[in-house]
Amino acid sequence: MNPKRIVITGGPGTGKTSVIKALETMGFYSFHEIIRTMTSAAKKQGNSEEFITNPLTFVSDPYLFNQKLLRGRVDQFHSASTLKDPVVFYDRGIPDVLAYMDYFKQEFDEEFTSACSKNLYDQVLLLPPWQAIYKSDNERLESFEQAIEIHSHLDSTYKSFGYTPKIIPEGTVEERTAYILSSVNTKDD
């Protein structure tokens, strides 16, 4: 059985993790963001005093780093087929890799675009930048202004693969979760 695959994406600090945790509390299966773990590992390998906004600063091969990220997200996509859940959520999807590479002005080849074209999600939910809740941390290194730019790259990247991202409005976690669940049950995506 293939579940309905729903991506929850957005720039850094938009509340994705809080929403995902709320959905999990309600019994929904969610695939977690893997870049935070990779960023922590990259930071430990380099000089954290020099680490500004790009985790690729500390890796010897940025292309390989992105390739591992891409493959991790593709693995998550395929892992959903082994689940019995009718709906699964992803904290970021495969096209996020390309959006960030584009934001950081990194080239990518057909392996990256093909992964996006061959592994299609059923719906994309986009959380917009929201300054009132934005906070930096050890893995979220971007400024709010950079988060706005990343949002734009995410939106245009998903659209370039034929998606129509549905914007999740600001609100409490409960309000946003309710909106998401009502969006998942509609056919007008």
Residue 133: inside a domain? yes
What pLDDT score does 34 carry?
84
If you compute the radius of gyration of the chain from its CA atoms, what whole number of angstroms results?
16
Q: How confident is the model at residue 182 (pLDDT cuts 50, 70, 90)?
A: very high
| CA 81 – CA 181 distance, rounded (Å) | 21
Q: Alpha helices of the chain — where are they, by DSSP H?
A: 16-25, 35-45, 62-79, 94-103, 110-118, 144-160, 173-184
Range of the domain at 66: 4-34+61-184
Largest CA distance in the chain: 49
Q: How confident is the model at residue 35 (pLDDT cuts 50, 70, 90)?
A: confident
Total number of domains in the chain: 1
Residue 166: inside a domain? yes
Average model confidence (pLDDT) across the chain: 84
Residue 40: inside a domain? no
What pLDDT score does 52 carry?
42
Across 49-74, b (16+ Cβ under 10 Å) vs e yields eebeebbbebbeebeebbbebbebbb
φ and ψ of 121, to 5 deg: -85, 160
- Residue 80 burial (C-beta neighbours within 10 Å; 0-12, 13-18, 19+): buried
Query: In this predicted model, what pLDDT tens digit does every residue of 55-78 receive, in sequence order?
Result: 555 567 888 889 999 999 999 999
Residue 52: inside a domain? no
- Can you give the pTM of this predicted structure? 0.84
CATH number of residue 160's parent domain: 3.40.50.300
Query: In this predicted model, what pLDDT tens digit does every residue of 110-132 receive, in sequence order?
Result: 999 999 999 999 999 999 986 66
Residue 41: inside a domain? no
